[in-house]
Amino acid sequence: MLRFKLFPIILLNFTMLLTGCMVGPNFKTPKAPDTKSYTEASLPKKTVSSKGKGGKSQEFVLGKDVKAEWWGLFHSKPLNKLVEKGLKNSPTVEAGQAALRQSQENLNAGIGALFPSVDAAASGQRERSSQAAFGSSSSTSSIFNLYNASVNVTYVLDVFGGTRRNIEALCAAVDYQQFLLRGTYLTLTSNIVTTAITEASLRAQIEATRDLIVSQENVLKIVEKQFELGSISREDVLAQNALLAQTQATLPPLEKNLSQIRHALAVLVGALPSEAHVPHFSLDQLQLPHQLPISLPSELVRQRPDVRASEALLHQASAQIGVATANLLPQFTLNGSYGGQSNHLNNLFKAQNRVWDYGAQVLQPIFRGGTLIAERRAAIAAFEQAKAQYRQTVLQAFQNVADSLRAIEIDAKTLKAQTEAEAAALSTLRLIKQQFHLGAVNYLSLLNAERQYQQARISRIQAEALRYTDTVALFQALGGGWWNCE
């Protein structure tokens, strides 16, 4: 009996001696790329400026951190509330949170394998036995009850660290889901802000198109009067009618796109299109961020959720090599039980009816048809695959930042050119209208001037909206500042 009481102490000491090593590679975080710049050519300190609220110059601030709520830099309260609503109600976020909880519970289940398995068992049965079972020719038999109650302990010693490597893999799976969730936050907020900017751009284009329609209708009235007076031909009237019809035909597609954009905004914030009550946005309500924080290249791999998620998968693949290696080695199991056995239930726990046992088992795989060796080779190949995928994710991350930086720089120049082109086209149109009323120029000159101004105005609106979306793309490419809210 004394030996049985010492069994837990012997088990603990033996476990501490044998669980010191873990086979398989120890994971090391990959180093960040050794580069000091995102782009091949150096960036200017600030972009060019142009007239209008969306034409302000933007300054690149290298080494400055991105704010967690970066969308607040656009200084739009309706936009801030919409993003907050989306983060609260989006089914995509809810699904990501549930996936994270699932991985955490899987980890908790895996940790349980480090502890002994303790089970209580009880049984009761009535039997009739024959003496023939004991080699006797007697015809007598006996009928009796048999009751059993015991506590069974089983402990698989993690001698070579297979269990701990599996827990390591489960920890990496939790990290993966956590960074997927952060990526979901970033994608959702970026989509909400970008979609709101697109709505503002479409509203401006619709307003410009309606102004042009009004202007062309006024010109048509003048042309019709001149035709009645005989100063112009019927072909000029038809040409103005055709131009007006062409401009009117561009309005329904814009209105269709606007409706679809608002429906998309409703879904992004987790609401039905008929019940979302999404606010209206215009470019005049948004402020272009003046300072653009640019994280150091060495920090990008720690900030991008997709890179961190890819790193977690690499870590998980590394741990699985250890699991597969441990499966090739001996498996040690300790077990013991303590309880009682009696023919009478009231005597089950008396001293004379106590039963116990303890022992150990070693299992060494010898021949499994090459299964275990193949599984280890497969785990190594999976690790090499995850390593290559991690490198590709890092390359794409740096490409995203480089593309965004160049887009901001070049699109600022584009907006300046489009603003100047619109101003020139408007001045030309006003001059030709005056000359046309005086009969100094023909109708074709007025027609060309109207077309040029229409195209220049729409192009300027699109270029202005592009500067806002470029800024959103940069914040997204830099990781969105999630680390500042921890």
Residue type, 404: S
- Report if residue 24 sits inside a domain: yes
DSSP summary character for residue 26:
P
- 217 within some domain: yes
The answer to whether position 384 is within a domain reads: yes
| Structural domain harbouring 213 | 2-125+144-485
pLDDT band per the 50, 70, 90 thresholds, residue 306: very high
Sign of CA dihedral 316, 317, 320, 325: negative
pLDDT band of 240, cuts 50, 70, 90: confident
Average pLDDT over residues 310-318: 97
Please give the Cα distance from 375 to 326 (Å, whole number). 11
Question: Is 206 inside any structural domain?
Answer: yes
Quick one: pLDDT band at residue 205, thresholds 50, 70, 90?
very high
What pLDDT was estimated at residue 131? 64
Q: Rounded to the nearest 5°, which phi and psi values hold at 357?
A: -160, 155
Contact 205, 251 (CB under 8 A): no
Would you state the pLDDT for residue 310? 97
DSSP 156: E
**Ranges of H-type helices in 19-115:** 77-89, 91-111
Question: With bands split at pLDDT 50, 70 and 90, how would you rate the model's confidence at 389?
Answer: very high
In-domain check, residue 133: no
Nearest-angstrom CA–CA distance, 221 and 215? 10
Query: Which are the contacts of 17, defined by CB distance < 8 A and separation ≥ 6?
Result: none
Residue 130 belongs to a domain: no
Mean pLDDT within 39-45: 89
Distance CA 313, CA 390 (A): 9
Q: What is the pLDDT of residues 19-37, one digit of tens each?
A: 458 899 999 999 999 999 9
231 vs 79, residue with greater confidence: 79
- AA letter at 157: L
Of residues 373 and 2, more confidence is placed in: 373
User: Lowest-confidence range among 31-45, 198-212, 223-237, 317-331?
Assistant: 223-237
Tell whether 138 is covered by a domain: no
Q: What is the mean pLDDT of residues 69-89?
A: 95
Looking at residue 212, what is its pLDDT? 87
pLDDT tens-digit map of 328-343: 999 999 999 998 888 8
Give the β-pairing of 59-62 and 141-157: unpaired
Bigger pLDDT: 79 or 41?
A: 79
The pLDDT score that the predictor gives to residue 442 is 76
Q: Is residue 127 exposed (0-12), middle (13-18) or buried (19+ Cβ within 10 Å)?
A: exposed
Question: Does any domain span residue 429?
Answer: yes
Q: How far apart are CA 196 and CA 180, in angstroms?
A: 24
Average confidence score pLDDT of the chain: 89
Cα angle, residue 162 at apex, residues 157 and 167 outer, rounded to 5°? 105
Say which CATH number the domain at 70 has: 1.20.1600.10
Number of domains in the chain: 1
Residue 142 pLDDT greater than 90, yes or no:
no
